[in-house]
Amino acid sequence: MQETIALVTGAAGGIGEAIVRLLAERGARVAAVDLDADRVEALAAALGAKGLEVTGFAADVRSSASVEALVERVERELGPVEYLVNAAGVLRLGEARALTDADWESTLAVNATGVFHVSRAVVNRMVDRGRGAIVTVASNAAGTARADMAAYAASKAAATAFTKCLGLEVAHHGIRCNVVAPGSTDTPMLHGMHSDGAAAAASVAGDPQHYRVGIPLRKVAVPQDIARSVAFLLSGEAGHITMHELTVDGGATLGV
């Protein structure tokens, strides 16, 4: 990945931060993108102090204008983007029939429309260069029904389908598009689902009342597990893999 320019959205989140760190450690120059300007600048400064090439950028993936300006600036200041990781995401919990318009719209706006905006802006530049790799961080919920997660699951299913369709359309330009689908991962998003601090234990045990099996490997993922999977799909080692969905959930969806 030496001298490769990588753009990572959701960079201030648990999984996004791990991806930024790993790609930078492997020699990429990383554009770390997040809506939270203070957090992403702090991340860039902390990693920069360790000799890693990370630059923070604030942008709102819900806005196509914001995204176009971002990608233009990244390519002007750092160079042509060869790797894109769509890791920005939000979670709104609630029964499907009780979700508000705002819950639904905000979830789809970030998790699905955001992937569309950023992927479109980056891939249109990749096409002219005849190379590139994109990984969208989705969720195992995209293919497995989850109680109280209808908006999130729908948004991740949309992002997954979009990424695979994009991969089909741009394959002849030498651009690969893949998906990593995490399960329960030790991040603030997971812990926010349980007010008693028992998020990891609850995920491992499962919840038969809500038709949710546990995790066969008896542990939740750590962000680095997801980051390593993303890095593999970006790398030349995955050079003949495209339109693939790699599930990283410790067996929680039973390999389906």
Rounded CA gap, 119 and 166, in Å? Answer: 9
Active site residue 152: yes
Produce one character per residue of 66-100: b if its CB has 16 or more CB atoms within 10 Å, e if not.
ebbebbeebbeebeebbbbbbbbbbbbeeeeeebe
Dihedrals phi, psi of 54, to nearest 5 degrees: -130, 130
Structural Rg of the chain based on CA atoms? 17
Q: Which residue has the tokens 């490997």?
A: 217
Question: Pairing mode, if any, of strands 175-182 and 132-137?
Answer: parallel
Q: Running DSSP on this structure, what letter comes out for residue 219?
A: S
Could you say which of 57, 83, 116, 152 is catalytic? 152
Please report which residue ranges of the chain form alpha helices under DSSP H.
14-25, 37-48, 64-77, 101-108, 114-129, 150-170, 188-191, 199-205, 223-234
Tokens standing for residue 212: 């949710």
Q: Which residues are catalytic?
A: 152
